[in-house]
Chains A and B, each alone.
Chain A
Amino acid sequence: MPKVTINDQVYEIPPGRTLIQIADESGIEIPRYCYHPDIGIEASCRMCLVEVEKLPKLVPACATPATDGMIVRTNTARVQQAVRYAMEFLLLHHPIDCPVCDQSGECWLQDYYMEHAGHSSRYPGAQKTRRVKAVTIGPLVKLDRERCILCTRCVRFTRNVTKTGEIGVFHRGHAAEIAIHDEKPFDNPYSGNVVDICPVGALTSSDFRFKVRSWFLKETDSVCGGCSTGCNMRIDHSARALGGGIPGVTATEGTIYRTVGRRNVAVNKSWLCDEGRLSFHTVERWPRLRTARTNGPAETLHQIHKRFEMMRKEHGAGVVAALGSASSTNEALFLMKKYFQGGVDFRVANETQTYQQQQDDLLRRVDKHPNTQGALDLGLAGNLNGLQGIVDLAERKQIRAMWIAFHPQLVGDDAADTLGKLQQLIHALDYSVVSTTHEFSWAADATVLLPMAAWAEETGTYTNYAGRVQIARRAVAPAGESLPLHTMMSQLLGFSGIQVSPDSAAIFEWMARETPAYSGMSYEALGKLGLETVKETVQ
Chain B
Amino acid sequence: MTPVRGGYAVDVPTINVSERARAEHATIWSTFKAFGVTLRRLFTSLVKRDMPTISYPEQQRNYSERFRGTHILTVRDDGSLKCVACYMCATICPAECIYIEAGEHPNPEIEKFPRRFDIDMMRCIYCGFCVDACPEEAIVMSREHHQAAYNRNETVYGIEKLMARPGIDAKGPGYRPNRPFSEAKLYNPKDKDACAWPSVTEERHPAVLYESMIQKRQ
By a beta-carbon cutoff of 8 Å, the part of chain A in contact with chain B is: 97, 99-100, 132-134, 139-140, 187, 189, 206-207, 209-211, 213, 215-216, 242-249, 274-275, 278, 281-282, 284-285, 411-412
Whether, in the assembled complex, B209 has its beta carbon less than 8 Å from a beta carbon of chain A, the answer is yes
Partner of B99, one of A211, A213, A246: A246
Whether B123 is near chain A, meaning CB under 8 Å from some CB there, is yes
Q: Across the two chains, which residue of chain B brings its CB closest to A277?
A: B210
Q: Is the CB of B86 within 8 A of A134?
A: no
Known interface pairs A133-B111, A244-B120. Does A412 touch B206 (Cβ–Cβ under 8 Å)?
Answer: no
B199 adjacent to chain A (CB < 8 Å): no
Cα(A20)–Cα(B210), bound, Å: 38
Within the complex, what minimum Cβ distance (angstroms) separates A492 from chain B? 33
> Which B-chain residue is minimally distant from A99 (CB atoms)?
B86
- Cβ contact within 8 Å between B84 and A100: yes
Given that A100-B86, A213-B91 are known contacts, is A245 also in contact with B207, CB under 8 Å in the complex? no
How far apart are B197's CB and chain A's nearest CB, in angstroms? 16
Q: Is the interface of A mostly helix, strand, loop or mixed?
A: loop
Is the beta-carbon distance between A281 and B210 smaller than 8 angstroms? Answer: yes
B98 within 8 A of A: yes
A133-B108, A213-B87, A213-B91 in contact; A207/B99 too (CB < 8 A)?
no
Which residues from 110 to 152 on chain B have a C-beta closer than 8 Å to any C-beta of chain A?
A: 110-112, 118, 120, 123, 135-136, 152
The residue that A210 contacts in the complex, of B103, B135, B206, with Cβ under 8 A, is B103
Partner of B152, one of A247, A274, A275, A285: A247
Contact of B84 among A99, A139, A275 (CB under 8 A): A99
Contact B112–A207 (Cβ < 8 Å): no
From residue 71 to 103 of chain B, which have CB atoms closer than 8 A to chain A? 84-88, 90-91, 95-100, 102-103
Give chain B's interface residue range (CB within 8 Å of chain A).
35 or more
Q: How far is the CA of A215 from the CA of B209 in the complex (A)?
A: 26
A211: which B residues are within 8 A, CB to CB?
102
Within the complex, the shortest CB–CB distance from A200 to chain B, in Å, comes to 15
Selected A-B contacts with CB under 8 Å, 12 pairs = A99-B136, A133-B111, A207-B209, A209-B104, A210-B102, A243-B90, A243-B100, A245-B123, A246-B97, A278-B213, A282-B210, A285-B207
- Nearest to B155 among chain A residues (CB) is A247
B110 contacts which chain A residues (CB < 8 A)?
A: 100
B214 at the interface (CB under 8 A from A): yes
A244 and B97 contacting across the interface, CB-CB below 8 Å: yes
Contact B91 A99 (CB under 8 A): no
Not counting A133-B108, A187-B216, A210-B112, a sample of 9 additional A-B residue pairs whose C-beta atoms are within 8 angstroms of each other reads A134-B111, A206-B209, A242-B90, A243-B96, A245-B96, A246-B120, A249-B118, A281-B210, A285-B207
Interface residues of B in 187-218 (CB under 8 A from A): 206-207, 209-211, 213-214, 216-217
Closest Cβ of chain A: how far from B166's Cβ, in Å? 24
Task: State A140–B217 Cα separation when bound (angstroms).
Answer: 13
B156 sits at the interface (CB 8 A)? yes
Which residue of A has the minimal Cβ distance to B84? A100
B214 touches A275 (CB 8 A): yes
Tell me the minimal C-beta distance from B85 to chain A in angstroms.
7
CB of A132 within 8 A of CB of B108, answer yes
For the complex of A and B, 6 pairs with smallest distance between CB atoms: A243-B99, A99-B86, A244-B96, A210-B102, A134-B108, A133-B108
A246-B156 in contact (CB<8A): yes
B31 to chain A, nearest CB (A): 55
Q: Chain A residues near B118 (CB, 8 Å)?
A: 243, 246, 249
- Are B135 and A99 in contact, CB atoms less than 8 angstroms apart? yes
Q: Could you say which residues of chain B place their CB within 8 Å of the CB of A247?
A: 152-153, 156
Bound state CA distance, A278 and B204, in angstroms?
14
Contact A139 B111 (CB under 8 A): no
CA distance A278 to B211 in the complex (A): 10
Q: Which listed residue (B99, B102, B111, B152) contacts A249, Cβ 8 A?
A: B99
Known: A210-B104, A284-B207. A245 touches B214 (CB 8 A): no
- A139: chain B residues at CB < 8 Å are 209, 213, 216
Question: CA of A210 to CA of B152 in the docked complex: distance in angstroms?
Answer: 29
Q: A245-B120, A247-B152 are in contact. Are A278 and B85 (CB under 8 A)?
A: no
State A483–B109 Cα separation when bound (angstroms).
47
On chain A, the residues within 8 Å of B96 by CB distance are 242-245
**Cβ contact within 8 Å between B91 and A133:** no
Query: What is the bound-complex CA distance between A105 and B213, given in angstroms?
Result: 29
Whether the pair A244, B123 counts as a contact (CB closer than 8 A) is yes
A278 touches B206 (CB 8 A): yes
| B124 CB, nearest partner CB in chain A, Å | 11
CB A253 to nearest CB in B, in angstroms, measures 17
In angstroms, Cα B123 to Cα A245, docked, is 8
B164 shortest CB reach to chain A, Å: 21
Please, how many angstroms separate the alpha-carbon atoms of A97 and B100 in the complex? 19
Contact A100 B111 (CB under 8 A): yes
